[in-house]
Structure 1
Amino acid sequence: MSEVILCGHVKRLQVGEALPFAREQTSAINKSRVDAVTVTSTGFAGDEQADSFFHGGPLQAIHQMPSKVYGLIKEAFPTVIIYEGMLGENLIVSDMDEDTVCIGDVFQIGTVQVQVTRPRRPCWKIDSQLNHSGVAKFMQDQGCVGWYYRVLMVGNMQMGDECILLERDYPEATLTRLWQIYNDKGFKDRAEIESWLVNPALEHSFKDVLRKRLL
């Protein structure tokens, strides 16, 4: 890309510590809003992960959710108490969602540069957090699940910062399309699967699932 594109502005920054949660497990899904944050190679300073197998690490350093997910959940589950920030995300930026974000995209937010690596897989902790079964499955069915970044350049973010798209090398690799074929176990189009396997930014566990479709 030769031009930079404004994608939105920071609406929410969050950090949290791992605390006792449900099923005798700990979780950092409960996060607190901050006005500014220092970003390291492993994510937001002060943010913790209770389960390092499924969360965190350099390829899952920052989790972003689209703000529209809250309206979708409220419409589908009107009795559920929900507000922005309850789904364990670190970041919400206006006007961004899975339709407009691609694997491999590089963004600048504040002085930080990040690259999209994979969607989030919603789990049972969302249902426990909202005290209502079926919400995580609803998010999965809607394809409104959020995504992870790896950090290319450390720095700082603050509320209101612009989110600028710096690079988009794979414009066909939208998160929406990836989620569709990832969850369609019968999808075995070799040419399209191979196009995902050669995307260097896509996190390995998603590649592993798609690679098995070719066997």
Structure 2
Amino acid sequence: MNVGMPADVRWHGRTVHTGVYKQTVAGPRMVRRLNIDGDGQGDLGGHGGEQRAVLVYQLDSYRFWQDELGRDDLTPGVFGENFTVEGLPDDEVCIGDRYRIGAALFEVTQPRVTCYRVGLRMGEPRMAALLVAHHRPGFYLRVIEEGEVEAGQEIVKESTGPETMTVAELDAVLYLSGHTREQVERALRIPALSPGWQGSMKTLLEQEDHRAAGDSSGSAGLSVAATAPPPAWPGFRPLTVTDIQPESRSVFSLRLAAADGSPLPAARPGQFITVKVRPDGDVPPLIRSYSLSGEPGTATYRISVKAEPHGAASNELRAHVRPGDRLEAAAPRGTFCLADGDNPVVLLSAGVGATPVLAMLHALARNRSTRQVWWLHGARDGTEHPFAQESRDLIASLPDARSAVYYSKPTSADRLGVDYAAAGHLSPELVRGLGLPTDADAYLCGPAAFMNAVTA
């Protein structure tokens, strides 16, 4: 049994509030509806709440990762779990299964929603993607009957969930390609499935229905926008700001979560959300759209904003919004999305235009893509280079990825060959000289002049 209270941890130059650091404890502990005595969760958008009160991970997976990663320092709790168990593999435990441990009764509600914090804890930036790719996420339990639990007690299965859908199967339905409609419909017939995952399954069905309707129209004139999946919710809904982090001198990120802690519907890499920014006084709200810059499928949204010198909304957000505040947001939209395929991918951006293509890079890393990936970015200098370390870590996690970053006016603190490849703008001449694969899918985002020149 492992518990730990949330703490602020420095990571890549930022402060992360996380409860991923767990310590093994001896003796009985009271397990309550929301957590174990002495335990807490830092990111309530992706962890915690009634549906995610207790996280389980298996000793067999520990043994797997010791061999896979060549690590001999993996001790119970390092994956952020509360219960480290012998048995209960993800490919056998089913959503809706009920288990009694000590005096408490538990029900399996969903796979773990993997996020970067497990990689932070382990010092392994690829970890979130690896957990999904190797079908070893672990799972969450809901507490049906509160009671004391102690390490070493027997785990007794009391009932099997309907549809006998395993944790690994459900995780693959949401995060990996190749699921069937029948799998999604089976998942929706499981009463124990958490509301957040039910919402994600419904979104998958809606997307499939919409694609089927578009395909059957027979109209070659339908645009991509016309056949885009419908938004996950109508209008605006309040989202809670859970974290604010600087990304560069002028760019900062806000992480948004559902007010009730349930997972937000998955967005496609490259999409944006629209938010209402309400200045003080009796003035109409400012409505702005910002690309989602974080890893898709993590149950929260991250937007990254550039504070322009005369930007009314961006400066209002920077000056007045704090963690715990709420922003009204519309559901993710947009057709500028990473497409499936095996051909190379080229991601080109300048300045804050990195945000949507960064989400695409996250998706490629999460799926441990074997596609050839090129990351090309232009910035003024190191102080105006958002997501520098984050993008380097993601590129390093991919088996066939390369990067070229250009600073137009590097400072004496910027390291040639480390922080940037060469001085100058990311121009059409530079792009032509890189020898990019001609069969690549290329995604561009940045200022208008950059877009027009590089597109041509």
Q: Please, what TM-score do these two structures have when normalized by structure 1?
A: 0.88
- Are residues 1:153 and 2:141 paired? no
Matched residue, 1:8: none
Q: What stretches of structure 2 of length at least 5 have no aligned partner?
A: 207-456
1:126 shift after superposition? 1.6
1:81 shift after superposition? 3.6
Matched residue, 1:17: 5
Name which one, 1 or 2, has greater alpha-carbon Rg.
2
Find the aligned partners of 1:81 and 1:166 in 2 and give their Cα distance.
Answer: 35
Matched residue, 1:96: 88
- Are residues 1:140 and 2:132 paired? yes
User: Residues 93-123 of structure 1, C-alpha deviation per residue, up to 9 Å, x if partnerless?
Assistant: 2111112211001110000001000000221
- Are residues 1:199 and 2:187 paired? no
Superposition pairs of residues 156-167 of structure 1, within 5 angstroms: 156-167=148-159
Residue identity in the other structure for 1:50: G
Find the aligned partners of 2:205 and 2:7 in 1 and give their Cα distance.
Answer: 41
Matched residue, 1:3: none
Query: Runs in 1 of length 4+ with deviation above 6 angstroms?
Result: none
CA gap of 1:73–1:166, structure 2 versus 1, over 3 A, is same
Aligned length: 202
Matched residue, 1:118: 110
- Are residues 1:211 and 2:216 paired? no
47-56 or 164-173: which moved more?
164-173
Find the aligned partners of 2:157 and 2:86 in 1 and give their Cα distance.
Answer: 13
Residue identity in the other structure for 1:24: T
Residue identity in the other structure for 1:31: K
Find the aligned partners of 1:129 and 1:32 in 2 and give their Cα distance.
Answer: 12
Find the aligned partners of 1:194 and 1:171 in 2 and give their Cα distance.
Answer: 10
User: Residues 190-213 of structure 1, C-alpha deviation per residue, up to 9 Å, x if partnerless?
Assistant: x33222112110012222222122
User: Residues 5-45 of structure 1, C-alpha deviation per residue, up to 9 Å, x if partnerless?
Assistant: xxxxxxxx011011112331111111111122111111201
- Are residues 1:44 and 2:40 paired? no
Find the aligned partners of 1:39 and 1:16 in 2 and give their Cα distance.
Answer: 14
1:136 shift after superposition? 2.0
Matched residue, 2:98: 106
1:79 shift after superposition? 5.0
Superposition pairs of residues 171-210 of structure 1, within 5 angstroms: 172-189=164-181, 191-210=182-201
Contact 2:24/2:76 (CA < 8 Å) preserved in 1?
no
Identity %: 25
Contact 1:80/1:130 (CA < 8 Å) preserved in 2?
no
CA gap of 1:82–1:154, structure 2 versus 1, over 3 A, is same
Find the aligned partners of 1:40 and 1:79 in 2 and give their Cα distance.
Answer: 34
CA gap of 1:169–1:69, structure 2 versus 1, over 3 A, is closer
Find the aligned partners of 1:181 and 1:100 in 2 and give their Cα distance.
Answer: 16
SS in 2 for 1:25: strand
Q: Please, what TM-score do these two structures have when normalized by structure 2?
A: 0.43
Residue identity in the other structure for 2:4: G
Residue identity in the other structure for 1:128: L
Find the aligned partners of 1:177 and 1:17 in 2 and give their Cα distance.
Answer: 31
Q: CA RMSD in A?
A: 1.6
201-210 or 101-110: which moved more?
201-210
The structure with higher relative contact order (CA 8 Å, sep 6+) is: 1
1:156 shift after superposition? 0.5
Alignment partner of 2:53 out of 54, 57, 61: 61
Find the aligned partners of 1:187 and 1:212 in 2 and give their Cα distance.
Answer: 14
Find the aligned partners of 1:136 and 1:31 in 2 and give their Cα distance.
Answer: 18
